[in-house]
Amino acid sequence: MSARERGLNIGLASLLLVVPLAAAYFGEPYYLTLATRIAILSIAAVGLNFALGLGGLVSFGHAAYFGLGGYAAGILANHALNGQAILAWPMEIGGTTFMPAIWLVAVLVAALTAFLIGMLSLRTTGVYFIMITLAFAQMLYYFAVSWPAYGGEDGLPVYVRNSFPGLNTFDPVQFFLISFAALMVSLAIFSVLRNSNFGLALRASRQNAGRLESLGIEVFRLRLTAFVVSGAITGLAGALYADLNRFVSPQMLSWHMSGEIMVFVILGGVGRLFGPVAGAALYIFLEQSLGEVSDYWQVFLGLLLLCVVLFARGGLIGTVLDRRNG
Amino acid sequence: MSIVLIAEQILNGLQLGVMLFLMAAGLTLIFGVMGLINLAHGSLYMIGAFACAGIASATGSFWLGLLAGLSAAAAAGAIVELAVIRRLYNRDHLDQVLATFALILVFSEGTRWVFGSFPLYLTPPEVLEGTVTLPGGIIYSRFRLAIIVAGLAVAGGLFLLIGKTLLGVRIRAGECDREMIAALGVNIGILYTLVFALGAGLAGLAGAMVGSIQSVQVGMGEPVLILAFVVIVIGGIGSVAGAFVGSILVGMADTLGRFLFPVFFGTFMDPSSAMSVGSALASMLIYLLMAAVLVFRPQGLFGHVGA
């Protein structure tokens, strides 16, 4: 990473921290909620960036892990409130509203699902992989829609915001800080893993899997590990998103969500550390500003995305850095 | 449970399968010849349905609507190929996914802009209203039966087109070696536009026909698109025969699963939980079928290794 990119990253992080806090101070709490959304969606995109940016694995089904993380949070909180056990046998497991416990469950559920889906889908590459990850995510979507116990199509309300020791999570500033901290932690994990031997091998596997195999590194296991880490991070984002909206619905599992998470990554710059943050921020900004102009803002968003693909490759961060270099 | 009831569900499964084939055939041809993954194929299906509903209600003729659906989707396909898709053939799949995702946003919201958010309804023509009694005393909707017959006829026509005509020879040659047929003097640009418009027209035809069974609304294309992906993974990418077998398998498994699973769980559960467990599992059945194919034949039933 160049010094320029590092500077840009620090700038982006400070902007995301300072602007909403200043807005809250001056009595505009709306921007705080918006920034919390950006932070949480960025975490989901950091997860995908791991598989997509480092491993070249074009997963079009990351809504699966996002939604599962959300449902993990929603289901645990609901059981904690109504006092019923989730599982009565072989041991009794009840719900909880304790955030760290919820995060742990969300991450584990997402990681386990990513492991199972990865086992099947990583047997293939290219277009097959895209279609299969999309299909499995859609399977979970249809399951959530047709399973009535947790709200089915209507979704599941989370009546209280879950708790974090020492903090008041109902205070928007404190909840924003939790989300921001979680984003920084996931970015740190991304950065450390990218520069580790594992990350080097993973990036090499994207460029030439055959050569890596001949060096004695098993590409399938490498990719599976990356896929599981990727799903786990996105699962954490899902749990936070459930707490932000105090609502979980099958919409979190839908293909449209998968597409949005992918757009965040590509808009910001594939494989860049802060690409997901830049992409999610730009997307939410466009959603807000275009949404004021027209009810049909997605038409303009679509046209803009087309222009980005056709003419501005490398995403936002890539474009900014190139211009400065040139 | 009577034989007649099961026969009706089998016919419903066949009808779904035939419709899926019209979608999957276009997708698999486009991938086979141009190496492109087109997420916006579902939008072309939607365009076919809306054009059919619009023209049918304006002129009062279902047949004109059907023709309009087919031609509107084919025209939209040709325009999109010339304006956008053409620039994506040499890009990686990630760019193709993003660009065609953007096209979905444009098409879906654009359609909402023009037609509004309320679903439209299409009535089938009078000749095809009511039911027919098939041999064995099976009473079945005349319109659905017509869809099955029409779909099978189109499938037969497509096999003839690919197997027996000059265009078909070029399509097959394009699947084998794109550079070579360009070097042999075939105008590859026109061939690509034709293949894309052909796939789009098939999707539009499917949309126009299904529009009379379901409501015509924005977003109707994506569930079908994802089913078509499952079909292609099962059948093997680039293979029209694989798409046909995969479509019938998926159509049958989905329809019969939704019908039989609740009945099966009803034998040892109370009716309401049998219904919910049965329908939840049935909604996952085709994906489990896809997973099974992936375990035993990752290249699909009709696919080639290394394709």
- pLDDT at position B27 is 92
What does the pLDDT look like over B189-230, one tens digit per residue? 898 999 999 999 999 999 999 888 888 999 898 989 999 999
Query: Which chain B residues contact residue A143 at CB under 8 A?
Result: 280, 283-284
Tell me the residues of B at the A interface, defined by beta carbons under 8 Å apart: 31, 37, 84, 87-88, 91, 93-95, 97-99, 101-106, 108-110, 112-113, 222, 226, 229-230, 232-233, 237, 276, 279-280, 283-284, 287, 290-291, 294-295, 298
Q: Note whether A185 contacts B: Cβ–Cβ < 8 A.
A: no
Q: Identify any residues that bridge with B132 across adjacent strands, giving them in sequence order.
A: B140
The count of other CB atoms within 10 Å of the CB of residue B157 is: 10
Beta strands A156-157 and B131-134, pairing class: unpaired
Quote the minimal CA–CA distance from A143 to chain B in Å.
Answer: 5
Query: Which residue, among B98, B108, B227, B295, would best test binding to A if mutated, counting the most A CBs under 10 Å from its CB?
Result: B98
Question: Which 8-state DSSP code applies to residue A53?
Answer: I
Give the SS3 label for residue B135: coil
* Of B40, B17, B14, B18, nearest in space to B199 by CA: B40
Whether B106 sits inside 8 A of A303 (CB atoms) is yes
What does the pLDDT look like over A69-104, one tens digit per residue? 999 999 999 888 887 777 766 667 778 888 889 999
CB-defined contacts A:B, below 8 A: 120
Closest partner residue to B103 (CB to CB) among A60, A262, A302 is A302
* Of B268, B266, B185, B216, nearest in space to B72 by CA: B216
| Continuous H helices in chain A | 3-25, 29-49, 63-82, 99-121, 126-146, 172-195, 197-207, 209-214, 219-245, 255-268, 275-293, 297-311, 315-325
A3-325: which CATH number, 1.10.287, 1.10.3470, 1.20.1540, 1.10.10?
1.10.3470
- pLDDT at position A160 is 76
* Of B232, B206, B233, nearest in space to B220 by CA: B206
The complex's ipTM works out to 0.87
Query: Which chain B residues contact residue A123 at CB under 8 A?
Result: 294-295, 298
Closest partner residue to A58 (CB to CB) among B97, B105, B232 is B97
A 204-263 near B (Cβ less than 8 A): 255, 259, 262-263
* Of B241, B253, B242, B246, nearest in space to B283 by CA: B253
A208-236 mean pLDDT: 93
Closest partner residue to A135 (CB to CB) among B108, B230, B280 is B230
- Report the distance separating Cα B104 and Cα A298, nearest Å: 10
Q: What is the pTM of this model?
A: 0.90
- Report the distance separating Cα B140 and Cα B11, nearest Å: 8
What does the pLDDT look like over A253-305, one tens digit per residue? 999 999 999 999 988 888 899 999 999 999 999 888 888 888 888 899 899 88
Query: Which chain B residues contact residue A296 at CB under 8 A?
Result: 109-110, 112-113
Domain assignment present for residue B251? The answer is no
Closest partner residue to B280 (CB to CB) among A126, A147, A306 is A147
Query: Which chain A residues contact residue B91 at CB under 8 A?
Result: 309
Considering only A189-193, B96-100, B303-307, which range has the smallest mean pLDDT? B303-307
Domain assignment present for residue B69? The answer is yes
| Continuous H helices in B35-61 | 41-59
Give the SS3 label for residue A182: helix
Which tokens belong to A186? 């996931």
Confidence of residue A326 (pLDDT cuts 50, 70, 90): very low
Domain assignment present for residue B121? The answer is yes
Quote the minimal CA–CA distance from A306 to chain B in Å.
Answer: 5
Residue with tokens 């490398």: A314
Quote the minimal CA–CA distance from B14 to chain A in Å.
Answer: 21
What does the pLDDT look like over A123-136, one tens digit per residue? 888 888 998 999 99
Residue of A nearest to B222 (CA): A255
- pLDDT at position A168 is 82
Indicate if the alpha-carbon torsion angle A16, A22, A25, A26 is positive or negative.
negative
* CB-CB contact of A16 with A281 (8 Å): yes
Quote the minimal CA–CA distance from A26 to chain B in Å.
Answer: 36
What does the pLDDT look like over A141-177, one tens digit per residue? 999 998 888 888 888 888 778 888 888 888 888 999 9
Quote the minimal CA–CA distance from B207 to chain A in Å.
Answer: 20
Domain assignment present for residue B294? The answer is no
Number of domains in chain B: 1
Whether A306 sits inside 8 A of B113 (CB atoms) is no
* CB-CB contact of B62 with B56 (8 Å): yes
Query: Which chain B residues contact residue A135 at CB under 8 A?
Result: 226, 229-230, 233, 287, 290
Which tokens belong to B231? 């079909």
Q: Is A325's pLDDT higher than 70?
A: no
Question: Which 8-state DSSP code applies to residue B302?
Answer: T
Considering only A72-81, A316-325, B133-142, which range has the smallest mean pLDDT? A316-325
Whether B237 sits inside 8 A of A127 (CB atoms) is yes
Whether A305 sits inside 8 A of B98 (CB atoms) is yes
Query: Which chain B residues contact residue A145 at CB under 8 A?
Result: 283
Q: Note whether A290 contacts B: Cβ–Cβ < 8 A.
A: no
- Report the distance separating Cα B272 and Cα B167, nearest Å: 54
What does the pLDDT look like over A4-59, one tens digit per residue? 888 889 999 998 998 888 888 888 888 899 999 999 999 999 999 999 999 999 99
Domain assignment present for residue B262? The answer is no
- pLDDT at position B193 is 93
Whether B104 sits inside 8 A of A255 (CB atoms) is no
A 8-67 near B (Cβ less than 8 A): 52, 58, 60
CA distances from B144 to A10, A45, B130, B150 (A): 61, 44, 10, 10
Closest partner residue to A123 (CB to CB) among B91, B229, B294 is B294
Quote the minimal CA–CA distance from A12 to chain B in Å.
Answer: 24
Whether B230 sits inside 8 A of A296 (CB atoms) is no
Residue of A nearest to B94 (CA): A58
Instruction: Give the list of residues 6+ apart from residue A241 with CB closer than 8 angstroms, or none.
Output: A40, A41, A44, A66, A69, A70, A252
Q: SS3 letters for A219-257? A: HHHHHHHHHHHHHHHHHHHHHHHHHHHCEECHHHHCHHH
Domain range for residue B150? Answer: 9-218
Angle between helices A99-121 and A63-82 (to 10 degrees): 140
Residue of B nearest to A306 (CA): B99
A311-320 mean pLDDT: 76
Confidence of residue B286 (pLDDT cuts 50, 70, 90): very high
* Of B249, B232, B252, nearest in space to B302 by CA: B232
Query: Which chain B residues contact residue A136 at CB under 8 A?
Result: 287, 291
Closest partner residue to B287 (CB to CB) among A124, A139, A262 is A139
